[in-house]
Chains A and B, each alone.
Chain A
Amino acid sequence: MTAALQRGVAGFLARYEGLRDRLPGDPRPRAEAADAFRRAGLPGATSGRREEAWKYTSLRPVADATFQQPVAHPAGDSRLLARLPPLEAPRIVFVDGEFRPELSALPASLDFARFADRAEYGRLARADSEPLVALNTMLAEDGALLSVPDGVDAGLLLLVSVATDRAACHPRHLIHLARGARLSLLELSFGDGSYLHNPVLEVVVGDDAALTHVRLQNEAPTAFHLSTVYAEIGERGEYDSFGLNLGGRIVRTEAHVRLAGIKGIAHLNGAQLLGGTQHADFTTVVKHDAPSCTSRQTVKNVLAGRSQGVFQGRIEVARVAQKTDGYQMNQALLLSPDAEVDTKPELEIFADDVKCSHGATVGELDADQLFYLRSRGIPDDEARSMLVRAFLADALDAVTDQAVRGVLEHAVEGWWERQAA
């Protein structure tokens, strides 16, 4: 192993050793996760070792970074609240990975518990095969355990995670929707300085239940955001997710969704807007394990500067999953000759009566469209911005809640202003 890897992995392991007697819950899964993490290390940080799942993304910069125990924050730091979107909705707020009741407004229509009080791991996320899940399982100190009872529509809920300089946070969230339940979850991550956000979410959508999961990743430009979602969808259940990646230096959002019951639906849509030297990797694995399920993925990349966007999408159709309808589309708009996009679609189909398609396009702004706008008097930069918004528009249309989409549109405006500056 290289010195850099030893430093990075050793740092996290040392933190675990230091904390292990104070970490909540059953120590055994943590010990196993620590072993797995010690063996696997951080993907890409070991020279000469390449993993297919991490073909385009190296976590060496994470291994090379140093994190430290964040200083305790004064209670009631309401400046944070000013950075939240003005939505009339309950919110659960974490700062540097710790639940902050004084900043939160707890929901009435669902059950909430802290991971710190009741450390429950779900049965979906696999520490033995996913190094980031191992890291999270080893070090998770807090998180949200959310449960929506049978038939309840819990409305909109904000799940907010804020980090400060040098923090390494590993929130562990567990979201359970019972039969016929509904929830619209807007997850926001942001912060200041160089820090690591490494959340793991386990999601169970029961029969006839529906979860809308919108994620706005707007981290500081020097931050790392590595998130992993594992979801399982029951009969006629629906998991409708949209991830918008705007911030961060190295980003990976990985989602594993298993359609476990007949006629389930999974939407894994998203967009990444990158500039400078940002790197963001949108990776999905959809498992069709039951008949007549539908999966849809449209992921759009807008890449400026020397940024790199990655989309890896894998659809696995089991032998029993007849009448599967799977669709995957990845589109990239390159705003600079130095930007790069890497796309890796994979279809693995064992059933014979399925409809699965995928496609990818890469392009620059259309010269005819640009000229048309300018010929009407619209200045070049404004015309470019209009065309980028237009490119994004049908991706954002997948977010049907007007208020939530407004939050995303506002964030896109902010991204655009930062690029123009």
Chain B
Amino acid sequence: MLEIRGLSAAIEDKPILQGIDLTVPQGEVHAIMGPNGSGKSTLAYVLSGRDDYAVTAGSVTFDGRDLLAMAPEERAAAGLFLAFQYPVELPGVGNANFLRTALNALRRSRGDSELDAVQFLRLARAETKRLAMPEDMLRRNVNVGFSGGEKKRNEVLQMAILRPRLAILDETDSGLDIDALRIVADGVNALRGPDFSALVITHYQRLLEYIVPDRVHVLAGGRIVRSGGPELAHELEAKGYAGMLTEAA
């Protein structure tokens, strides 16, 4: 489903990604782990189409389509979703209005009919409840005045409503206490199935206790240096990045 070949990217002429090769087959959840500065967030941004990164080499295909040639909204329409590490605040934009606009834009692009306010609220309220979020979260402005945990849960709520085919979770676990972590993980696990894939980016192994990945990749210095099964996360936890990177070198 997602095929990354020799991907290199730079920001302001500073190379960050230096030849990433990664395949995420349909229905699988892969984790990317790596130390700070290894390029994890850059990879997430490049895949979702942020234009301040320049792709200097390589290719990315999504269901056989050239992902890098698509605008961010086209990538979303194709089924890509990025849960932001730092969700953006949108003062003056109501959360429900934002979600409905996004959902209807996606439905339009797929040739589905748009949901009216009543239909949408029914759906949104159900998902809000499932994620144990207060219902007033829908009435508030997007992420404005939300705690760190609420912002992350709002990302998962968006994901639950927009139903992507490939979700990229960029350190969604950072700043979450154990209860929130479990709720977020449940939200992701509820989407798991043959039509859902995910790329879970995390610094810690902790999240992977709850979202058990099919494969784990270690990113360092802008490259995938090791790949393995879920046990690789435990190995990392035991040895630390430094220990593992010395071994890999």
Binding site for B on A (CB under 8 A): 367-369, 371-380, 382-383, 386-387, 389-394
Contacts and interface: CB of A to CB of B under 8 A. Distances in A.
B105 A382 contact: yes
Contact of A389 (B50, B76, B92, B105): B92
Contacts of A375: 48-49, 72-73, 75-76, 81-82, 84
A377 B49 CA distance: 12
Contacts of B102: 373, 376-378
A368 B48 CA distance: 13
Interface string B16-57: 000000000000000000000000000000001111100000
A371 B90 contact: no
Contacts of A389: 92-93
A369 B91 CA distance: 10
A393 B84 contact: no
B237 to A, nearest CB: 31
A364 to B, nearest CB: 15
Interface string B182-223: 000000000000000000000000000000000000000000
Contacts of B81: 375-376
Contact of B90 (A372, A379, A380, A394): A372
Interface string B85-107: 00110111100001001100110
B181 interface: no
A377 B106 contact: yes
Contacts of B88: 368-369, 371-372
Contact of B93 (A368, A379, A382, A386): A386
24 contacts: A369-B88, A369-B90, A371-B50, A371-B51, A372-B90, A373-B90, A374-B49, A375-B73, A375-B75, A375-B81, A376-B81, A376-B98, A377-B76, A377-B102, A377-B106, A378-B101, A378-B102, A378-B105, A379-B105, A380-B71, A380-B73, A386-B98, A390-B92, A393-B92
Task: With a 10 A CB-CB cut-off, give which of A367, A368, A389 has the most chain B CB atoms.
Answer: A368
A387 B81 CA distance: 21
Interface in B90-139: 90-93, 98, 101-102, 105-106, 109
B2 interface: no
Contacts of B72: 371, 374-375
A288 B189 CA distance: 62
B93 A376 contact: no
B184 to A, nearest CB: 18
B92 A391 contact: yes
Contacts of B49: 371, 374-375
Contacts of A390: 90-93
Given A375-B76, A377-B76, 11 more contacts: A371-B49, A374-B76, A376-B98, A377-B73, A379-B105, A380-B73, A386-B93, A386-B98, A386-B101, A390-B92, A394-B92
Closest CB pairs A-B (n = 6):
A390-B92, A377-B76, A393-B92, A376-B102, A372-B88, A374-B72
B77 interface: yes
Contact of A376 (B51, B71, B92, B162): B162
B158 interface: yes
Given A372-B84, A390-B90, A393-B92, A377 B71 contact: no
B105 A377 contact: yes
B141 to A, nearest CB: 8
A390 to B, nearest CB: 3
A257 B242 CA distance: 69
A387 B98 CA distance: 11
B73 A374 contact: yes
Nearest to B103: A377
A11 to B, nearest CB: 45
Interface string B55-79: 0000000000000000111011100
Task: With a 10 A CB-CB cut-off, give which of B50, B84, B91, B92 has the most chain A CB atoms.
Answer: B92
A372 B88 CA distance: 7
Given A382-B101, A382-B105, A386-B101, A376 B158 contact: yes
A264 B91 CA distance: 31
Nearest to A367: B52
A286 B105 CA distance: 46
B73 A379 contact: yes
A372 B49 CA distance: 11
A386 B162 CA distance: 19
A387 B92 CA distance: 8
Contacts of A377: 73, 76-77, 102, 105-106, 109, 162
B145 to A, nearest CB: 14
Contacts of B109: 377
A393 B93 CA distance: 8
Contacts of A369: 88, 90
B213 to A, nearest CB: 23
Nearest to B99: A376
Contacts of B73: 374-375, 377-380, 383
A359 to B, nearest CB: 16
